[in-house]
Structures are given as structure tokens and as C-alpha cells.
Amino acid sequence: MNLRLIKQRFMLHLDPILLSGLGALLLVSLLTLYSASGGNEMRVFGQLGNIAIGFVALWIVANMPLHWLMRIAVPVYVLGMLMLVGVALFGEISHGARRWLNLGFMNFQPSELMKVAVPLMMAWYFEKHEATLTMKNYVIATLLLLLPVTLILRQPDLGTSILIAASGFYVLFLAGLSWRVIIGLLVTAAASAPFLWNMLHEYQRHRIMMLFDPSQDALGKGYHTIQGMIAVGSGGLLGKGYMQGTQTHLEFLPERTTDFIFAVYSEEFGFVGNLFLLGLFAFVIGRGFMITAGASTYFTRLMAGSITLTFFTYAFVNMGMVSGILPVVGVPLPLVSYGGTSMLTLLLGFGVLMSIHTHQRLVKT
Amino acid sequence: MTPHVELKNHQRERYLFSLRLIFCLGFVTVLLAILVARTFYLQVWKHEYFDTMAESNRIFVVPIVPNRGVITDRNGEVLARNYAGYTLELTPEKIPDLNATIAEIGKLVEIKPKDLRRFKKLMSERRSLQTLPVKTRLTDEELARFAAQRYRFPGVEIKARLFREYPLSETTSHLLGYIGRINQQELDDLDKKGLAGNYMGSDYIGKTGIEERYEKEMHGVTGFEQIEVDAGGRAVRMLSRTAPQSGKDLQLTLDAGLQQVAEEAFGDYRGALVAIDPANGEILSFVSKPGYDPNLFIDGIDTESWDALNNSPDVPLNNRALRGQYPPGSTIKPFMALTGLHFDIRSPSFSISDPGYFTLQGSSHQYRDWKTGGHGKVDLFKSIVVSCDTYYYGLATELGIDRMHEYLEQFGFGKHTGIDLKGETSGLLPSTEWKKKRYQQIWYPGDTVSAGIGQGYNLVTPLQLAFATATLANDGVAYRPHLVKDIQHAPDEKPAAPEPLYDLQIPAEHLALVKSAMQAVVKPGGTAVGAFWGVPYPVAGKTGTAQVIGVKQGEKYDEDKVSEYNRDHAWFIAFAPADKPRIALAVLAENGGHGGSTAAPIARKVLDYYLLGKKPKPLQKVIEQAGAEDD
């Protein structure tokens, strides 16, 4: 009796449908990680830890009333921006990029925080000016987006900046940015491509170049892409079987537990397995859209839509990169790749989604 | 859009938002469909392609080199064998500073200047990623010393290899030849023949002699191990193994003991000897003096040793038995006699009165006999015994060069014998047609006169002359001379007995006459009586002397040597026992003067050993050979 009450209270702000989709994806993650790490339980336990921390965050956020979210938007955004500037000035350099901030007790990557903070800030901004939206508001919102994106791009971290730019753009798009402006921006972007090209770092340019012809540098920059495609392609219709992938287990695949985990999964479970995985992603995204459609306020609609679409973008960019239709930009497969920070950010996002869903449900009833 | 404050229009706003959301839904659906299509393309459409790539990624084929066939003589004595040893090999691509590395290795393992010179030569002709030996035949101590320090030398490996060795060294050099490291041209050839796969992992190939001619048989079939490797190239496990098939062993027709005796019999003379079993064409001895140490060539000869061999006035690399072409001189006379009998130009009883010279009709030019004053009354028998030139001047003139060509060609003069060695020369048996073709000149009667005693244009190789002698000894039934008696085969298979090439159908009385004359050559009154004094078995022989025209074009004038190199070449052909020949031979001693005095004694020693098992007295120079090991 008591237990039932606890359970009820625990589940109060969680969405079982979304939860089951996430659970299935996380199960795929644990299974694939075990294989990708060559049967190393430590990786699996590590990921379980990441999931546990992420779930605590999810639960907390899901239980937060919506106006709390509104209230923390500005402070979180400002804090994130300050930390990004801090990174640019005093950040730790690792692997040739300045991404980490040493807080004394831990290393923190402020760009991860911005994945949530930027759409939150923009949604908050649009909510504030909902009644009187003019072109000026869109310009300001765009600036709110471009400032952190530029800073992250300069770290350099192409993958994260693309994802944040996407999440911000989704807010702009859902907030009703006029088609004329969107098309205008696209044309401007195309026109300024050469300029942006010059802005990119050498290794980023290389990665994009390799997309068009990975065989050009088969042992160097193209190696990741080629080995990824070989792993996926050799999986065939039904896959080589769990723990049987030769590309994976003989270590031809780079970054097997992180960015290239999709190749591991594809090699072992084949096309049929991929359909299942894509189905799971579609299920979660679909549920996200449903929650978005049902959201009651402007702010929650923008937030829910942006979170859902960003999640999709994550997945699409990663799978596209592994299967060779997008350049290797260093984006993990959401919920499946090994990694604490991205797991936390993602589950935090889903926490927001559940909060949006359950709090207004409570309002309605 | 209105810039002024406007009341919230929830309805409209919701509608607009829904439109945007639906657009997003469509966008997501399209992109997901693209992903499905892409994975379908990779996993189903191009599956085979990527599967092959994944397989070639992980499967590494390691060739297992087969053991090369062993060569033995007719009695089972080993002439070429393999022994296991260790080498120190470098992969130059993996070594940044080659000289420094070699210097460092030199502190652990003795690297002689010769090794270094050889290594440099190999560097210049190597294939990419090939490993090159800097030191072969490591001693156990060197092996241990280097193994302990191995980690310091990336790109340097100790390899266990089978080495080829020719125990008789110089003695068998010209017939066995040698193997050596495969060069680019040989690799291209193998590629063209579709054999490159079988030579994966093979470093050596037969370069000359038997080793070259029977390369296919002795190399064997390369085996393969399929090894699964990880991305770092480390072997994970073996997937399959196809055992190599060892190369076939060869048994030669050669008698190693006879070969050694024959070689020693030459003493300091340069020259050649070929001894054949007339009954089947088996070559019992095949000597070309001087020889060389074939072991020097196996891992690549160093430049200095090569220059020494290549620039020696004695041309030790020239296979005189196979390729040396000399005028046959008087050794042609028994064959000329048979030609005269065949065309009925001479009857056994016909005789001439020899004044010591011959003149052509209408000319005063005298073609001199070797004996001033002549041999008196000479019939066919005596013409061979005393080697009367005048008799053959006349015979040749009456025969005419074309009839001589027609008949002598059947003994194998002027064409390849078909021996199982590469690079045989064909000698020269002149004819009017040949001269017209070669010099655009007509044949002069004077040309025929000197051709009658084996001079003029005539050229033979020692092998050809031995073949002709064997054919004569075997009553005109010719067998192809050959060096390989048997190639390793299944126990139930029997090697085919040699088939005669042809039978010249020489009338028995012609044969009896010529053979008895040749037997008289080694008896009192004959030209080779000295060498065969007291011989216990019947021998048939014929001496010959080939004039040396002069120092060849391009050779340096060497005062000390000029007289020696200008001396006549000495020939001797023989077969024994004369009534039932077991061995027929031709001996050439370059610049040996007269056949009877230098070539015939060599033949005597060889025949004595073969027929009586008698070893000749040891020669002093045998002892010197021990020093050859050092260099």
C-alpha cells in the first residue's frame, strides 16, 4: 500500500510512453557497448552510472514546475556565457581544442550546458515578447544564439556548435520566423560559405573534404569514414551476430564505444537491426512531437519542439556521419554512445519534456 | 505584420505553430527515410563489396615457402642441399638512419666489409618493402647477443631460413649453376607467366645451370596460412593452412667422383670436358675450367668478388663446355672418314701418296700437312691413326662442302644438342648457303680444303663433340645428352627410359673400320700413344689441335700471357671400352698445344677412374682450396 503510493509519487511527473522508448534505446546502448568494448563490463557499468546520474537529473527536472524553468532560463544562460568566455580565456587544452574549464574540483565543459541553456533562453525570450513579436525580436534571439555558437566554434568544437545552432534555429523556426527570412538566410549562408570555409580549422576542412572522397586519404583522415562504412556494409541484411563483428573486435573501427557505436551495432545486427533502431528513434521523436503539440504555452511549445528536434538532429548527424553521408564532426549517437556529459544533457532535456507534459496534464485535470 | 500591440490570437498562433510542427514532422520523416535508404544501400545493395573489404581487412595471407629440391649425383652424393640458418635482415623503409643502425648492429654482430658491400648492392636492386640480409649465417653466440638487444632495432629481424649450399663448390659450378635473389626483371617474368603467386615469400630463384633449367620442378608449391589480424597487424588466430609442397629432388646423371677426377686432371689448364654414356646420353662428367664458387652468388655477390670473376682473363664465368666454340681440328677426321665412305668417295682400300702438302688443281698454293715431308702411302685407316691432313684435304675437295654439311650435321655439328641446360651455343658447320647468307660471298674451293681438317669456319662446342663421339661409339644411334636422370616422383611411377633420337644407319663395316683406326690412335704409331701407354682396356680416340687465330679483339695485351693465350687448343675425343663403349668423351685444353700431349692424358685419367676405379695421383694444388672459405 505504502509502496504503491511511493511508486505513484515517483511516477507522477514521468511519461511512461517516452520512458519506455528511452529505456529501449538505453538497453541497446548497454548491449552494444558490451560488444564494442570487447566484453568489458567496466564500460557497461560506467554507462549504467551515467544513466543513473542522468535519470536523477531527469526526475528532478521533470518534477520542476514550468515556471521554475522560466525563472532559471536567464541565470543559466548568463552563467553559461560567462563560463564560455572563461574557457576562451583560461580553458584547458586537450586534443588541440580549448573546451574544458577547470573548476578546481572537476573539469567542466560549458558548451554542454549551453545545449540546454540556449534554447531555454530563446524560448524564454520569445515567451516574454509573445504578444509583440517583431523582426527586432527575431534579430535579438538570433544574436542570443550566435554569441555562444561563435565562441564554441572557436574552441574549436564543430559538432557541438552545429547542434546548438540547430537547437536555436528550431526555436526560431517554431516561433514563426518568416519563410522569406529563412530563405534569405539560406541564400546568405550559401553566399558566405567561402568565408565560413576560411573560418574553419584545418582539421575540420579536412573532415569535410574527406566526406566527398574518403579514399583520398584512406590511412589518414578518411580512415574513420571508410572503416565505418565497411563495418555497416559488411553487416548485411541480418548482421554478423552479437559479439561477432570483425571490424569491431579486431579494432579496425575507431571510437567504437563513442562516435562510431552505430557502426558496431550495424555490423552485428544488420539492416534489420537498423530498422529496429531507427524505429526506436522515430518512436521517441514521435512522442516528443506529441508532447510538443499538446504543450499549453508558447514557451513550453518552443522548448519541447526544440528538444525533440535537437534529439533527432543528434541522431541523424551521427548516423549520417558513420554511414558516410555527412562529414565526421564528432557527434555521439544520443543515448547509445558512451559518455556522461551527453547522457546528462540529453536526459535533462527529456526531463524538461516530461515536465511540460505532466505539469499541464495536472493543470488540465 | 503589425508593429503595434495586438491582442493575443491564440487560435491563429496555435494554427501557425501546428503548421510549423507538421513541416518539422515531414522534415524528420524525409531524413529518416534517407537514413533507411543509405543503410539499405550499404548493407543490402553493396553488401558484397563491403564484406570483401572487411575480409581483406582482417585476413592476411602469409606464404609458406616450400623447401627447394635437393640435387644429387647418380650415386646419391649430394651436390646442392638446404640447411637451416639464421640471418639478420633489414627492412630499409622502417629504418630512418640505415648507416647508424648498421653501425650499431656491427657492435653486436660482426659485419664484414664484404657483407656491407653485398648489402649495398642488394639495396640498389631491391623491391620495395623487401627485407635484405645484412648478415647471413649467424653463429649461435651472435644470435643470442642480438636477440637480447632486439628491441633497440625496429625494422631489423632475425629470420630462420633455409640456405642453399653447393658442397662441391667450383667442381659443379658450371652445370649446377646457382640460385640468387629474385630481381625485378625476374619478378616481371614470373608475373607474366602467372607464377607470381607461387613466388610470394620466395626470395630465391635459379639463375643459371640446372638450378635455372629445373626451377619449376625444384621450387615446389608455396603454401599459405590465412591469419586473422587486428587493426595493429597482430596475428589473432590462424584460419586455415595450405601446406607447401616441397620442390622435387633431382638425381643427375653426373658421377661426382668422375667429375672431381676430371676437374683435377686439368691441373692448371683451362678447358672443358664432357663425358657421356653413349648407350643413353647420360652425361657423366661436365667440366668447364676454371670454375667459380657458386656459394658466393646465393645472397648476392659483392662487387669486388664479382669484378674479380668478371674481369679475369681466364673468364671463369664462361661455361666452356656448353658455350665455348672452337675449331674441332683433327677430331673431325673420323666423322669425315665416315662421310667419305657414305658418299662412296673413298673406299677403305683407296690410298694416296702424301708428299706433305696438297694443291688445288690450277693453283700453286700448298696446303701443308702437319708433318713435313708427309706420311707416305696413306689409306683411310692410316689417315686417322697418323692424322694425315693431306688425305682429308683431298677428300673434302672431292666431297664438296655441301655434302660434308649434309652428313656431318647428322652427328649434331652446327646445331643445338638439346641438353637440359639453357644457353647452349650451336657451333658452326659451314655450307655454301650459310656463307652466302652470312657474308654475301660465294664459297671458294680453298674454304673446303681447310674445312676438311676441321679448321676454317668450323666451330664446335665440347658438348657437341662429345655428343658426336658418343653417337659414333653407339654405332650411329644418337641419344639426347642430358644431365637429369630422375626427378622425384611417386614410388609407383617409373621414369621413362631415354628414347634414341635417331639412328644414322651407318653400315657396320664403315663403323668397324673407323673404330679400329681410332683404337690404333692410342697404340704405337698413333698420335696418342704416349698418354695411353699400357692401357688395360680397349680405347678408341682421336687427337685434335685447333689453331688460335690470335688475341681476340678488345682483350688487353698482356706480355706474359700473350704467348700462352696464343697457343693452339688441344683436343682429344675417346670412347671406351672400344668394343662395348660405356663412356664417350671430348676434352679440350685451351692453349694446350697438341691433343696427344695435353688433352689425351686428361682423358686417360678420366677413363681410368671410370672404368678401373683408379684415382690418379693427387695434385698439389688441392690443398690451396681450403683458403677459399674466407672470402
pLDDT at residue A171, as a whole number: 93
Q: Work out the mean pLDDT of chain B and round it to a whole number.
A: 85
Nearest CA in chain A to B16: A176
State whether B28 and A309 contact (CB < 8 Å): yes
HEC letters along B45-89: HCHHHHHHHHHHHHEEEEEECCCCCCEECCCCCEEEEEEEEEEEE
Determine phi and psi for B546, rounding to 5 degrees: -105, 125
Task: Tell me how far apart the alpha carbons of residues A75 and A150 are, in angstroms, rounded to a whole number.
Answer: 20
List chain A domain ranges.
16-364
A30 pLDDT tier (thresholds 50, 70, 90): very high
Could you tell me the three cell numbers for B536?
688395360
d(CA B249, CA B67): 10
Q: How far is CA A197 from CA A99, A191, A194, A275, A325, in A?
A: 21, 11, 5, 35, 19
pLDDT recorded at residue B616? 61
Please tell me the predicted confidence (pLDDT) of residue B488: 87
Distance from CA of B298 to the nearest CA of A (A): 38
Nearest-angstrom CA–CA distance, B72 and B486: 10
> How far is Cα A295 from Cα A280, in angstroms, rounded to an integer?
23
pTM for the predicted model, two decimal places: 0.66
Residue of B nearest to A326 (CA): B35
Distance of residue A247 Cα from the nearest chain B Cα, in angstroms: 7
| Residue numbers in A near B24 (CB within 8 A) | 170, 173-174, 289, 305, 309
The C-alpha atoms of residue A236 and residue B12 are separated, in whole angstroms, by 49
Flag whether pLDDT at B556 surpasses 60: no
| B21: closest CA of chain A, how far (Å) | 7
Residue A332 pLDDT > 70: yes
**HSE toward the beta carbon, residue B474, CA cutoff 13 A:** 29
Using the beta-carbon criterion (under 8 Å), do A131 and B21 form an inter-chain contact? Answer: no
Distance of alpha carbon A7 from alpha carbon B170, whole angstroms: 98
Q: B58 and A174: CB-CB below 8 Å?
A: no
Question: Between chains, do A247 and B25 touch, taking CB under 8 Å as contact?
Answer: no
Tally of residues, chain B: 631
* Rounded distance between C-alpha atoms, residue B19 and residue A176, angstroms: 10
Task: Write down all domains in chain B, each with its CATH number in brackets.
Answer: 61-252 (3.90.1310.10), 322-477+492-521 (3.40.710.10)
Distance CA B278, CA B468 (A): 10
Q: Do B25 and A289 touch (CB under 8 A)?
A: yes
Length of chain A: 365
**pLDDT tens, position by position, A262-290:** 999 999 999 999 999 999 999 999 999 99
Of residues A252, A271, A305, nearest to B21 (C-beta)? A305
List CB contacts (< 8 A) between A301 and chain B.
17
Interchain contact, A233 vs B38, CB within 8 Å: no
CB–CB of A271 and B8 under 8 A? no
Q: What residues of A are in contact with residue B53 (Cβ under 8 Å)?
A: 230, 233-234
**Partner residue facing A285 (CB), from B13, B16, B28:** B28
- Beta-carbon contacts of B541 under 8 Å, excluding residues fewer than 6 positions away, are B518, B519, B521, B522, B528, B532, B572, B573, B574, B575, B600, B603
Distances in whole angstroms, Cα of residue B338 to Cα of each of B376, B386, B476: 22, 17, 11
Q: In this complex, which of B3, B43, B229 lies closest to A266 when CB atoms are compared?
A: B43
Chain B positions touching A231 (Cβ under 8 A) are 54
CB contact under 8 A, A134 and B8: no
- Partners of residue B525 on adjacent β-strands: none
- Decide: helix, strand or coil at residue B168: coil
Pick the closest to residue A228 from A143, A326, A113, A137 (CA basis).
Answer: A326
C-alpha closest to that of A240 among B47, B38, B75, B357: B47
- Sign of the C-alpha dihedral computed for residues B468, B471, B477 and B479 taken in this order: negative
Q: What is the mean pLDDT of residues A74-82?
A: 93
Cross-strand partners of B326: B460
Three-state SS for B377? strand
B39 to A285: CB separation less than 8 angstroms, yes or no: no
Query: What mean pLDDT value characterizes chain A?
Result: 86
- Collect all residues of chain B within an 8 Å Cβ-Cβ radius of residue A251: 230-232
Across the interface, whether the CB atoms of B8 and A130 are under 8 A apart is answered yes
Chain A residues touching B12 at Cβ < 8 A: none
The dihedral over CA atoms of B202, B206, B212, B215, expressed in degrees to the nearest 10, equals -30
Q: pLDDT tens digits, residue range B342-359?
A: 999 999 999 999 888 898
Secondary structure percentages of chain B, helix, strand, coil, to 5? 40, 20, 40
pLDDT tens digits, one per residue of B238-256: 777 888 888 999 999 999 9
pLDDT at B432 over 70: yes
Give the pLDDT of residue B148: 84
Task: Inform me whether the pLDDT recorded for A210 exceeds 70.
Answer: no
Nearest CA in chain A to B40: A271
Residue B484, SS3 per DSSP: strand
Q: Name the band, by pLDDT with cuts 50, 70 and 90, for residue A211.
A: low
Closest chain B residue to the Cα of A251, Cα to Cα:
B231
Start-to-end C-alpha separation, chain B: 102
Question: A125-149, pLDDT tens digit by residue?
Answer: 999 888 778 888 889 999 999 999 9
DSSP string, A55-101: HHHHHHHHHS-HHHHHHHHHHHHHHHHHHHHHHHHHPEEETTEEEEE
pLDDT band at B624 (very low <50, low <70, confident <90, very high): very low
Distances (CA, A) of B567 to B473, B545, B549: 30, 10, 9
Which residues of B are catalytic, by number?
330
**Phi-psi map region of B382: left, alpha, beta (phi>0 left; psi -120 to 50 alpha):** alpha
Instruction: Look at A237 and B35 and tell me if their CB atoms are within 8 Å.
Output: no
Instruction: Please answer yes or no on whether A236 and B53 come within 8 Å at the CB atom.
Output: no
Residue of A nearest to B23 (CA): A174
How many other C-beta atoms lie within 10 A of the C-beta of residue B92? Answer: 18
Say which of B1, B55, B231 has its CB closest to residue A134: B1
Cα B570 from Cα A296, distance rounded (Å): 122
The b/e string for B560-589 (b: 16+ C-beta within 10 A; e otherwise) is: eeeeebebbbbbbbbbbbbeebbbbbbbbb
Interface with chain B: mutation pick from A137, A178, A246, highest number of B CBs within 10 Å:
A246
CA–CA separation, B367 vs B364, rounded Å? Answer: 10
B43, A246: Cβ pair inside 8 Å?
Answer: no
Q: Locate the chain B residue with the closest alpha carbon to A250.
A: B230
In terms of Cβ atoms closer than 10 Å to its own Cβ (0-12, 13-18, 19+), residue B499 is exposed
Chain A partners within 8 Å of B58 (Cβ): 246-247, 250, 252
Q: Are B332 and B544 in contact (CB under 8 A)?
A: yes
B35 and A234 in contact by Cβ < 8 A?
A: no
Q: Which residues of B touch A173 (CB under 8 A)?
A: 20, 24
Which of A234, A292, A319 shows the shortest C-beta gap to B51?
A234
Identify the helix (H) or strand (E) that includes residue A102: strand A97-102
Residue in chain A closest to B22 (alpha carbons) equals A289
Nearest CA in chain B to A325: B38
Q: What's the DSSP call for residue B1? A: -
Tell me the mean pLDDT in the region B263-276.
Answer: 93
> How many angstroms separate the CA atoms of B143 and B590, rounded?
47
H or E element that contains A233? helix A223-235
Question: In angstroms, what separates the C-alpha of B244 from chain A's closest C-alpha?
Answer: 28
Residue A218: the pLDDT is 53
Task: Write out the residues of chain B at the interface with chain A, using a CB-CB cutoff of 8 A.
Answer: 1, 3, 5-8, 13, 16-18, 20-21, 24-25, 28, 31-32, 34-36, 38-40, 42-44, 46-47, 49-51, 53-55, 57-58, 228-232, 236
> Shortest CB distance from A232 goes to which of B8, B25, B42?
B42
Top pLDDT among B194 and B406 is at: B406
Quick check: A252 and B46 CB within 8 A?
no
Confidence label for A105 from pLDDT (cuts 50, 70 and 90): low
- Chain A nearest C-alpha distance from B225 (Å): 18
- At B360, the pLDDT band (50, 70, 90 cuts) reads confident
B84: β partners: B162
C-alpha B30/C-alpha B13 separation (Å) is 26
User: Which of A205, A266, A286, A263 is closest to A17 using CA atoms?
Assistant: A286
Give me the DSSP letters along B286-352.
EEEES---GGGGTT---HHHHHHHHH-TT-TTS-HHHH--B--GGGGHHHHHHHHHHTTS--TT-EE
Q: Can you tell me which residue has the cell 525563472?
A: A71
- Do residues B279 and B481 lie in contact, with contact meaning Cβ atoms separated by under 8 Å? no
Contact A229, A211 (CB under 8 A): no
Pairwise CA distance, residues B136 & B350, whole Å: 69
Residues of B in contact with A309 (CB under 8 A): 24, 28
Candidates B6, B28, B47, B237, partner chain A, best to mutate (most A CBs within 10 A): B28
Residue B341, pLDDT above cutoff 50: yes
Measured between beta carbons, which residues in chain A are less than 8 angstroms from residue B237?
Answer: none
Cα B181 to chain centroid distance, Å, stands at: 16
Q: Which residues of A touch B54 (CB under 8 A)?
A: 230-231, 233-234, 246-247, 252
Q: Is the dihedral of CA B9, B10, B16, B20 positive or negative?
A: positive
Report the share of chain A in percent with pLDDT over 90: 46
Distance (Å, whole) CA B394 – CA B360: 9
How far is the alpha carbon of B310 from chain A, nearest alpha carbon, in Å? Answer: 47
In 3D, which of B542, B366, B361, B403 has the Cα closest to residue B468? B542
**pLDDT value for A363:** 53
Which residue is closest to A262 within chain B, CA to CA?
A: B39
CA distance A93 to B397: 105
How many CB pairs below 8 Å do chains A and B form together? 125
Sign (positive/negative) of CA torsion B506, B510, B512, B514?
negative
Question: Any residues with CB less than 8 A from the CB of B92 and at least 6 apart, and which?
Answer: B98, B123, B126, B132, B155
